[in-house]
Amino acid sequence: MTTPDKETMLNWYRQMVLIRRFEEKCAELYTTGDIGGFLHLYIGQEAIAVAAQSIFRADDNIITAYRDHGVALARGIPTKTVMAEMLGKATGVSKGKGGSMHLADIDRRFWGGWAIVGGHLPLAAGIALADQYSGADRITVAFMGDGSTNIGYFHEALNLAAVWKLPVIWVVENNQYGMGTAVTRASAVSDIVKKAEAYGMPCCQQVLDGADIFEIREQFEMAEAYVRDGEGSYMMEILTYRFRGHSMGDPERYRQQEEVEKKKTEADPIIRLGNYLLEKKLVTQEELDAQAQSAEEEVAEAIEFAKKSPFPAPEELYANVYV
Amino acid sequence: MSTSNQVITYRQAVSDALWEEMERDEKIFIMGEEVGVWGGTYAVTKGFIDQFGEKRVRDTPIAEMAIVGAAVGAAMNGLRPVAEIMTINFAFLALDALVNHAAKAHYMFGGQFKVPLVVRTTTGGGRQLGATHSHAPEPIFAHFPGLYVICPSTPYDAKGLLKAAIRDDNPVLFVEHSTLYQTRGAVPDSDYTVPIGVSDVKREGSDVTLVSYSKMVQISLEAADLLAKEGVSAEVVDLRCLRPLDMKPVIESLKKTNRVVVVEENWPRFGVGAEVAMQIMEQAFDWLDAPVKRVSQEDVPLPYSRDLEQSALPNPAKVVAAVKAIL
């Protein structure tokens, strides 16, 4: 793997901070009632989406579950249209009809934002099937939480993908809790990646550190080479941690605050990358601060845009039920 | 355009529609349990794998969530899948993929995605298959906006509607009746489609309107023959599609006959009859000379034993009795 240049790494840093600040503001806008419904924050998991974006091609397919803001922003969907969707505005990326859990951008081959646990996994298989069928060399990257690996969809989708050698990288973002139930209480094997063996599917040899963007990128690159060559699917497991609750209404009775605070100091991907860049003397603190400042301004502009945007017109209610 | 007809079975009509569409468009492919080497458990896709190959005729694991889910994904990404769920009894396993993903992908993302998908399946009781393999639950699927539900009763409609479904950009549940496959009817030699969402008068009459779909059209037509012998003229309206539901021919017929009996294979509660009767209330209440009646499957799980099972299903005699009750 070639060592990225300083500008590239600074850009990763900026993207992660952008996601973090975006979601912190979303949490505020949720408490003020500007954002409704459910709100599942990605805070703590940012390195995964940014690492993926740094490896995969713009015409590759990305699909994820309902914790989708980070993946959407990393994919390059304009921050203002994502924020507008959060506020249910007509200018939102899904025209205000999807909301937080249903972001998508067909032009960027970001296929959503799906909110039934595991339901998007066979969709990923089908998206990959269409590319295999038509001879395109695109690959599909399917993100999922640890909780989705216990549902039937997961097993049916991975089995089908293995039987048909579909070009999918199955990426488990193991944030250690499916809602409030710890992996060890919900999954018969706590090394989730071992589930790949049931389908004869190659996988990463060890669980990856979700706070280490370099480690994740390296594994993505290996997986990409395998899948792009038409060998079939590949599975990865990344151990990560969400610093916030499952969703905004989570009382968090299932974990101790000390555990959360420990993770925030030891496993924050933004701090980790910032420290690396400083220790290697590749950047100065001022340069990092400038990136963070720029990201904050982008979020502020997005909020302004979203707040000024109109709500969907009444006639939108019946639009797009059918083609 | 040729106007000559040939008489073929309902099975052949479905099979021909699929074959001709696959010849027309490379993006159309079939996936499902036993559709390939076996040739389809109802022999609809017999010979397809030899003609079109394994790429386009894909045997799947017995995994309905994956069959429908993967078909939705393939449809979103540019293909035109025809997925087969062996029987509608197994479609419950794919209900989430049908209603949460196939039916909503277009709306939920502001119109960005299209799902040009057909899910073919078979329905119906009366074959001693017991409670889990004898459902006729079409109304469940017709409940959801975003999905079309098509239930043809004749070879002509089956072929024309399947072609229309395959060419449509919306997701369609295409429900074939397992006891209609051997029935025969005239079908044009030339390419044709039947528009989705247009009900059809299958027999004209003046005294009562029988509203039905799928196999129940056959039951209604047999009942109309019996009624004719007693001097009662029954009009038979075939809904053909439960969604979109075209009530216009029903209302027009009602204005002529002033009496309606709905003949449905589903259970009576929350079924086709309930919906049709409610729409009549909303659109043509003043034209009714008698309450709307329904002939349904008895409100029990279907038993195995032959005569007991048959006693639970609609038949011409039950339809005649229902008509007489409102004349």
pLDDT in tens, A245-288: 888 888 888 999 999 899 988 999 999 999 999 999 999 999 99
Confidence class for position A112, pLDDT limits 50, 70, 90: very high
Concatenate the DSSP letters of all residues of A177-243 into one string: EETTEEHHHH-S-SSGGGGGGGGT--B-SS-EETT-HHHHHHHHHHHHHHHHTT---EEEEEE---S
Residue B3: pLDDT over 80: no
Tokens of B251: 């209302």
- State the nearest Cα–Cα gap between A293 and chain B, in angstroms: 32
- CA atoms of A235 and A195, how far apart (whole Å): 9
The residues near B61 (Cβ < 8 Å, ≥ 6 apart) are: A156, A159, A160, A163, B33
Contact residues, chain A to chain B, C-beta under 8 Å = 61, 92-98, 102, 104-106, 111-114, 116, 119, 121-131, 133-134, 152-153, 156-157, 159-160, 163-164, 319-323
Q: Region B48-59: what's the mean pLDDT? A: 97
Torsion, CA B252, CA B256, CA B261, CA B264, rounded to 10: -30
Write down the domain spans for chain A.
6-307
Give the residue on B whose Cα is nearest the Cα of A162.
Answer: B61
- A236 touches A170 (CB < 8 A): yes
Mean pLDDT of B151-165: 98
Angle at A167 between CA A54 and CA A58, to 5 degrees: 30
Tell me how long chain B is: 327
Provide the residue type at B251 as one letter: I
User: Which residue of chain A comes nearest to B243, CA vs CA?
Assistant: A322
Residue B326's identity, in one-letter code, is: I
Chain B residues at the A interface, defined by Cβ less than 8 Å, are: 29, 55, 58, 60-61, 63, 65-66, 68-79, 81, 96-97, 100-101, 105-114, 145-146, 148, 168-170
Query: What are the angstrom distances between the C-alpha of A222 and each of A52, A90, A165, A170, A225?
Result: 12, 40, 17, 13, 5
Q: Which SS3 state, helix, strand or coil, does residue A80 take?
A: helix
**Choice among B64, B176, B264, B275 that is catalytic:** B64
| Nearest-by-Cβ selection for B55 from A92, A97, A133 | A133
Test A104 with B74 for CB contact under 8 angstroms.
Answer: no
Which of A112, A125, A127 shows the shortest C-beta gap to B66? A125
List, for residues A147-205, the tens digit of each pLDDT value: 999 999 999 999 999 999 999 999 999 998 899 899 999 999 999 999 999 999 999 99
CB B185 within 8 A of CB B156: yes
pLDDT bracket for residue B216 (50, 70, 90): very high
Catalytic residue chosen out of the listed positions B23, B34, B84, B133:
B133
pLDDT at A250: 87
Give the SS3 label for residue B150: strand
SS3 A284: coil
pLDDT at site A310: 98
Within 8 A by CB and 6+ apart from B155, the residues are B8, B9, B10, B12, B13, B183, B184, B185, B186, B187
How much is the pLDDT for A1? 65
Of A164, A183, A187, nearest in space to A174 by CA: A183
Instruction: For chain B, give the mean pLDDT.
Output: 97
Q: Report the SS3 class of residue A66.
A: coil
Q: Identify the bridge partners of residue A110 per DSSP, sorted by sequence position.
A: A62, A105
pLDDT digits (tens, 9 = 90+) for B164-203: 999 999 999 999 999 999 999 999 999 999 999 999 999 9
Predicted confidence (pLDDT) per residue in A120-156, tens digit: 999 999 999 999 999 999 999 999 999 999 999 999 9
A316 burial type by CB count under 10 A (0-12 exposed, 13-18 middle, 19+ buried): middle
> A129 vs B109: CB contact, 8 Å cut-off?
no
**CA-to-CA separations, A310 to A72, A85, A297, in angstroms, rounded:** 22, 11, 22
Does residue B64 carry a catalytic annotation? yes
- Span A6-307 CATH architecture: 3-Layer(aba) Sandwich (3.40)
**A60, exposed or middle or buried, with CB in 10 Å at 0-12, 13-18, 19+?**
buried
Domains, chain B, with CATH or none: 8-188 (3.40.50.970), 200-326 (3.40.50.920)
At position A46, the amino acid (one-letter code) is: E
| Rounded Cα–Cα distance for residues B327 and B323 (Å) | 6
Q: Are strands B234-238 and B200-203 parallel, antiparallel or unpaired?
A: antiparallel
Asked whether the predicted pLDDT for residue B218 surpasses 80, the reply is: yes
Which residue from A97, A130, A322 is facing B74, i.e. has the nearest CB?
Answer: A130
Please confirm whether the linkage preceding B244 is cis (ω < 30° from 0). Answer: yes
CB contact under 8 A, B79 and A130: yes
Please give the structure tokens belonging to residue B175: 């429900």
How does residue A8 score in pLDDT terms, banded at 50, 70 and 90? Answer: very high
- DSSP type of residue B157: H
Q: HEC profile for A84-99?
A: HHHCCCCCCCCCCCCC
* Rounded distance between C-alpha atoms, residue A165 and residue A142, angstroms: 15
Contact between B74 and A129 using a beta-carbon 8 Å cutoff: yes
Cβ distance of B96 and A126 shorter than 8 Å:
no
Separation in Å, CA of B317 to nearest CA in chain A: 40
Q: Using CA atoms, how far apart are residues A168 and A90, in angstroms rounded to an integer?
A: 33
Please report residues of B whose CB lies closer than 8 A to that of A114.
101
- Going along B239-320, which residue ranges are E strands? 241-243, 260-263, 293-295
Which of A93, A96, A122 lies closest to B69 in CB terms? Answer: A122
Q: Taking 90 as the threshold, does the pLDDT of residue A118 lie above it?
A: yes
Q: What is the pLDDT, as a whole number, of residue A249? A: 83
Point out the residue among B100, B148, B170 whose CB comes nearest to the CB of A119: B100
Q: In this complex, how many residue pairs, one in chain A and one in chain B, have their CB atoms less than 8 Å apart?
A: 135
Residues of chain A neighbouring B25 (CB-CB closer than 8 A): none
Pairing status of strand B208-212 against strand B234-238: parallel
pLDDT tens digits for A228-254? 999 999 999 999 999 898 888 888 889
Contact check, Cβ <8 Å, B66/A157 = yes
A-chain residues within 8 Å CB-CB of B71?
Answer: 126
**Percent of all residues in chain A with a pLDDT value above 70, rounded to a whole number:** 99
Contact A105 B70 (CB under 8 A): no
What distance in Å separates the CA atoms of residue B63 and residue B45, rounded to the nearest whole number?
Answer: 19
Residue in B110, B113, B153, B190 with CA at minimum distance from that of residue B10: B153
pLDDT single digits (tens) B16-29: 999 999 999 999 99
Given a contact cutoff of 8 angstroms between Cβ atoms, the answer to whether A196 and A158 are in contact is: yes
Q: Is B6 helix (H, G, I), strand (E, B) or coil?
A: strand
Share of chain B above pLDDT 90, in %: 99
CA-CA distance, B229 to B226, in Å (whole number)? Answer: 5
- Supply the pLDDT for residue B157: 98
> Is B312:B303 a contact under the CB 8 Å cutoff?
yes
Segment A55-60 mean pLDDT: 97
- Per the DSSP assignment, residues forming a β-bridge with A6 are none
User: What is the C-alpha R_g of chain A?
Assistant: 19
Strands of the sheet with B148-150, listed across from one edge: B57-59, B28-32, B80-85, B118-123, B172-177, B148-150, B241-243
Chain B residues close to A119, C-beta within 8 Å: 69, 96-97, 100-101
Q: Per the CB < 8 Å rule, is B113 touching A126?
A: no
Taking an 8 Å cut-off on Cβ atoms, the answer to whether B77 and A116 are in contact is no
A123 chain-B contacts, CB cut-off 8 A: 69-70, 72-73, 76, 101
Contact B76 A321 (CB under 8 A): no
Residues in a beta bridge with B184: B9
Taking the CA of residue A111 and the nearest CA in chain B, the distance in Å comes to: 9
Closest chain B C-alpha to A93 CA, distance in angstroms: 8
Within 13 Å of residue B216, how many CA atoms lie on the same side as its CB? 31
Active-site residue B54, yes or no? Answer: no
Burial B97-110 (b: 16+ CB within 10 A, else e): bbbbbbbbbbbbbb
Average pLDDT rounded to a whole number, residues B213-221: 98
Residue B2's pLDDT is what?
52
The whole-angstrom distance between A313's CA and the closest CA on chain B is 13
- Predicted confidence at residue B33, as pLDDT, reads 96
Q: How far B114 CA lies from chain A's nearest CA (Å)?
A: 7
